[in-house]
A = this chain, B = another copy of it.
Amino acid sequence: MKEPESFADVCELVKAFCEARDWDQFHGPKDLAIGVITEAAELLEHFRFQSDEQSVELLNDPQTREEIEDEIADVLFFLVRFSQRFQVDLPKILLRKLGKSERKYPVEKSKGRSTKYTKL
């Protein structure tokens, strides 16, 4: 496979992959959201019962890192599918949300703090 150059290129390959398998019929919004959360759980499971230090160390083991990266890819796969099936522009909505977050989390109030905006 020729190396694609960007996120948008890889998304096109995801689309072709699913269309070749006639999978649009399974990719409704509810099942795609279930896809996102079940893969997110497989990602999280790697860190269950692990301290923060141990969690970082897991990423230093090449095999475990690849397993973790595969789970991240699985979550991303379902987000990409959602964007393709229901006309969601991922860079655009991420940018828009970032603008909202800038208003919710002004630097002077949120710097160095993990407090939720509702409690700032």
Contact = CB atoms under 8 A, between A and B. Distances in A.
Interface of A: 1, 3-4, 6-10, 13-14, 17, 20-23, 25-26, 28-31, 33-38, 40-52, 55-56, 58-59, 68-70, 72-77, 79-80, 82-83, 86, 88, 90-91, 93-102, 105, 107, 110-112, 114
Contact of A28 (B56, B72, B107): B56
A41 B21 CA distance: 25
B48 A72 contact: no
Given A29-B56, A33-B40, A94 B73 contact: yes
Contact of A101 (B1, B17, B41): B17
Given A36-B75, A41-B41, A73-B93, 19 more contacts: A4-B95, A7-B94, A10-B98, A13-B95, A21-B112, A26-B114, A33-B43, A33-B47, A34-B34, A35-B48, A37-B41, A40-B41, A40-B75, A41-B42, A72-B83, A76-B76, A76-B94, A77-B97, A77-B98
